[in-house]
Amino acid sequence: MFYLILISLLSTPIQMVRVKYSGGGDWYNDPSIIPNMMSEFEKRTGIPTKKQEVVLSLDDDKIFSYPILFITGHSKIVLSDKECKMLRRYIENGGFVYADDDYGMDMYIRQQIKKAFPNHQLTEVPFDNPIFHIFYNFSKGLPKIHEHYKGPPHGYGIFIDGRLSLFYTYNTNISDGWADPDVHKDPQKKREEAFKMGTNIIYYAITY
């Protein structure tokens, strides 16, 4: 039975998986982000977590034991046909994927999402979607943590049967705000916004 059932009963601490993709860039960057985010999530929600990140490839059946997969990196990302098939199967079985462009990943991640979900379109997530309000209120959408490009941040999604199942953030780099303070030297206000949005993302993943 999928891990989300266990989450709803709060019988098992939740844990986030970092996806190690087979081709392309630095999937491993900023090793402090997941431990920090899970610590903040537990502190803010009272829901128990395991702080250590799990690293798995998409072709590993163990991904079905976790409620949320996290994908990030710079520049190129390539998924094999098997990885795309497993990603699609994971989501169709109730899993949730969060992808965050750490700069330069946009054109590549879009290609891989299209490859994995040929029958679904990556669309902008409206500001009234629960992911922006489920724990903290972001009535104007995503906060902008890092200025990679001019203009506002964007959140895109793949919807399966009306449920936001894959959430991709662009031109904000939410996860950089989870890093140790001395890594990017972000102001505390920006780090707080990043942790709040991260809390919303994880809370959404385990309740929807």
Nearest to 18 by CA among 60, 48, 76, 80: 60
* Structure confidence at residue 11 (pLDDT): 64
CA distance 193 to 125: 19
Print the domain residue range for 51: 3-207
Using the Cα atoms of residue 125, residue 126, residue 131 and residue 137 in order, give the sign of their dihedral.
positive
Q: How many CB atoms lie within 10 A of CB 81?
A: 10
Q: What is the mean pLDDT of each run of 10 residues along the chain (208 residues)?
A: 44 92 85 97 97 95 97 91 96 96 94 96 98 98 91 97 97 96 93 98 96
* Structure confidence at residue 31 (pLDDT): 94
CA distance 81 to 28: 22
In angstroms and rounded to an integer, the radius of gyration of the C-alpha atoms of the chain is 16
Provide the number of structural domains found in the chain: 1
* Structure confidence at residue 26 (pLDDT): 87
- Domain holding 124: CATH number? 3.40.50.12140
* Structure confidence at residue 24 (pLDDT): 76
* Structure confidence at residue 1 (pLDDT): 37
Q: Quote the pTM value.
A: 0.93
